[in-house]
Structure 1
Amino acid sequence: MKQVIAARTDIGMGVGKLAAQVAHASLSAYEDTDERTRRAWKGGGQKKVVVKASGESELYEIAEKARLEGLPHAIIRDAGHTQLDPGTPTTIAVGPGDDELVDRVTGDLSLY
């Protein structure tokens, strides 16, 4: 099992901002999973992979693919306290879910 988090490359997030947004996405998607999936993912080491998304539209394309596959997912929008305007979509987490299923949604994205 794994979770993949796609982060936008077009908005110039600093490394701290990127780390925070990835963490928000991971936790938000995790909270939307069922207990069986949570246990399996946690027991398997909570595998996470961070990949690149070219922009806002790609986040929504990923979300639609995840929805069609029945995978938990969460798009994160920044609060706007530091580097970005309020409501800026920054990341999406897909999963946790079976590796093969998550790869159907995110397998063509490059590592961050």
Structure 2
Amino acid sequence: MKQVICMRHDLKMRRGKQIAQGAHASMAFLCDKLADKGTISLDDFSEAERTWLSGAFAKVCCRIDSDEELLDIHDKAIEAGLTVHLITDAGRTEFHGTPTRTCLAIGPDHAAKIDAITGHLQLL
């Protein structure tokens, strides 16, 4: 089980900004479930998510070189039935006030399912 964070490298974000955006992406699947239900239990998660949550929280960070590539990976992951969270930064500290898509998280899910979409990507 793992989660893959795909980060736009073309934006030249500061390292701290990249880390914050990746953290937003990683936590989004938990936040969405909590927002939907108000409270959550392990029963609210898939088998893959429960395994990941009770294990080592494996995460892999990969490089994406454009907004188009980010959206292509997003669409392929959705088509494959994977959980995907796309992060758009508000632009208050970088990007000159323009909301900008920065990264996405795929999973957590079975590594083989995610690797079919992201296995070709370079590590960040």
Q: 1:38 aligns with which of 49, 58, 63?
A: 49
Aligned CA distance change for structure 1 residues 76 and 35 (closer, same or farther; 3 Å): same
For the residues of structure 1 that align with 2:69 and 2:29, how far apart are their CA atoms?
18
**1:30 Cα offset (Å):** 4.4
The corresponding residue for 1:97 is 109
The corresponding residue for 1:26 is 26
Aligned pairs, how many?
112
Aligned CA distance change for structure 1 residues 98 and 31 (closer, same or farther; 3 Å): farther
The corresponding residue for 1:107 is 119
- For structure 2, the 5+ residue unaligned runs are 34-43
**1:39 Cα offset (Å):** 1.6
Q: SS of the residue aligned with 2:73?
A: helix
Larger radius of gyration: 2
Structure 1 ranges of 4+ moved more than 4 A: 30-34
For the residues of structure 2 that align with 1:99 and 1:3, how far apart are their CA atoms?
8
For the residues of structure 1 that align with 2:94 and 2:22, how far apart are their CA atoms?
15
**1:64 Cα offset (Å):** 0.8
Q: Over aligned residues, Cα RMSD in angstroms?
A: 1.5
Identical residues among aligned pairs (%): 40
